[in-house]
Each structure stands twice: as C-alpha cells, then as structure tokens.
Amino acid sequence: MATRQEIHEISRAVDFTGKFRQAESGSWIAYCEEIPKARTQGKTKDEARKNLKGAIAFTLEDSSPKEQERFRVELTTERERAQLAERTG
C-alpha cells in the first residue's frame, strides 16, 4: 500500500488520461485510461473531473506493489525528462 505522499507525487507528476462521456440522464461518466479501475461520475463534467482525481488517488492507494512500481517508474521518467529539458533549455 502506497503512502499518501507517494500517491500525491504520482498524481501530480504522471499525466493520466481522463475520458468523459455524458449519459442520457445528463450526468457525466469518467474513467482513467491508465487505471481502468478508476471510474466515477458527476452531475457536471467539472464534478466528474474532480471525482476522477479522487478515484485515481483511491485506486493507487489500494493498488498492488507491482502497479505502484509501474507508476513510480513513470514518475521517475517524467522527472528525468524535466531535468533534461532544464539542462538543454
């Protein structure tokens, strides 16, 4: 189980892909491509987006060590890219 700090770092640094669609009822359904278990809904698209961030954090917190390691690798890769971009300006 990941710590809250690890979840926060992963959530901030990894660019997750949110998918949204409007249901016939008018509410919005959202899910994350990279984390299929992270699904939610909201009355508005903005509410669904906010709820999806929470669903991603909850799913990461409850994910297996293997899944957490995958996101840590992505996080490290993102940091390395940012550092390289700073150096090459």
How many folded domains does the chain comprise? 1
pLDDT confidence band for 1 (50 / 70 / 90): low
Q: Residue 89 domain-assigned?
A: no
Using the predicted structure, report yes or no on whether residue 83 has a pLDDT greater than 70: yes
Burial (CB < 10 A; 0-12, 13-18, 19+), residue 37, is: middle
Q: Residue 56 domain-assigned?
A: yes
Distance in angstroms between the alpha carbons of the first and the last residue of the chain: 37
Domain of residue 20 covers: 4-83
The per-residue pLDDT for range 20-47, each reduced to its tens digit, is 999 999 999 999 988 888 999 999 999 9
What pTM did the predictor assign?
Answer: 0.70
Q: Residue 15 domain-assigned?
A: yes
CATH classification at residue 69: 3.30.160
Q: Residue 88 domain-assigned?
A: no
